[in-house]
Structure 1
């Protein structure tokens, strides 16, 4: 893209700057549109499973409902509680929203279609996702209300707990791929299953890790059955209870951007990213652009997120923490040992 602007007559420095801004906008603007539309899809899936109609009034088939909701929130008054810490109160949703967007910088949508194709992309995602805890904690503390504070503490403990098991799951993927670069991880899945299946999910050692990763994704994004941060039987709502207008909308947008991020990571790490499901030429898989495969797989995982939300009852908080620390953490550690041992004796011939 930089070369394109240089060809237009720009100075090399300005061309690089404009190319970077253009790349950011090419990711951020479609992502915001996608967030608006998946909220609509989310509500439609819930409605269908519960035999209801869902949004169907604003626009054809209710497609403009999310935009109407956004306009309503935009026109509302921003209310700041008198006892709140005003600076931190306003900063928290900005941090949550910004961090949710930053992680998308290293997500490859197709071969070479990535804003920053860095060698430590997976470590970057882990580092950025851990920062989201700060926005949640700040919002609960700055509200100066006990229920948002309780919710923020729950959310922080929940996110940290499941990030530990997610980290060990990613170690298993990195051991097989031999790299932290997300594009190379996707290419490492080409024909991984008997030269036919594109994806690590076909691997008997990595398939259980995908199951744990998917469930941990639900917990990391506070989705049902792990939405204990908004358990109305114990709390008023969540850590954003005292927020209104666009500050509340930033939390909402950040939450769904994180959900899409986890769906895309399921796609990239276990289901071949932009690669077609099968690595055979008998079917014209490769005539379909890679970004189409990536979006279809990501949407499939989002549908699974919505399906779980509409059908699975909420856990108790002690069950949530027990699952993370006493089941997923030991299990992921065991599979790190099994995976490394298997690779040592198969790929490296048992060499120390």
Structure 2
């Protein structure tokens, strides 16, 4: 077997690779943001490599990848493990659920962490070996990963990107929460259907109209850009309407400094019953600990939008008005999140934790986004 050096050319969708004692950790945000701007929540989730994949072309009959994972868990709560999805010549051939790695158990009342160490996961891929194959190893969207080793029984090469580069920013829903596998999160579903190259800046709990995130988007290469805002602002009760509207304008202004003519799509939240007409902050439902399931609830008063308190209904109206006010920007478009997942969809596919879509709902959202954004006459065309 050949030992393959881990290089940025092979790790697609990451901003940087950090050298660790054991290997290489992909990061989705650059080091200057992690060091100055990121709080502990963002520090944790940006290192979960949602949308990041190892991509190579080879005539090998066997490829092996060793990874060491680190995940967050809560005592008494069962959460699905991450997986590595193997795609060969465009077809999903394997989804390897991780068995090893460290667990960081958080006390739900105090937040105090307890580390339970674990070992290394090895992913083995058997190939036909009858010609050159393109192999994509999609890393877990919901666990931090260190890449320890990559091996093959024949030389490998990096694969030049094909298709437009789509940069997407959003919340934990865009990050992939509740999806069962990394190719099942809705941005990856959409990208694979549309034939575009994804860089996913969906960051759980952290789509907060932060100026530093706008600067990251401004300074990053992209052929098309989408920004999905609203749910985190509501469930953190982070702003009032007076602050939210100019913040979004400023966010878009910053993106336009680096991408003056790039197709840019502003997307409002999908349907989420607990926050449609009830402001935040959101909270973990303590009743869920009795059943071993994580659930969320809204702690505000239904219908209370006095003083500019935000609900998803208020957010959608504000985002639509923001795009209308920027009519001098012909490449800026608006997509109503209810067109991706509306009230009837939530009735048919209830959000398992009252906040994040199921795997089936991710597939539906991804298919609809691919059609509305990238299909004939699409909003990002």
When the two structures are superposed, what TM-score results if normalisation uses the length of structure 2?
0.25
More strand by share: 2
Query: Which structure exhibits the higher relative contact order, with contacts defined as CA atoms closer than 8 Å and separated by 6 or more residues?
Result: 1
- TM-score normalized by structure 1? 0.27
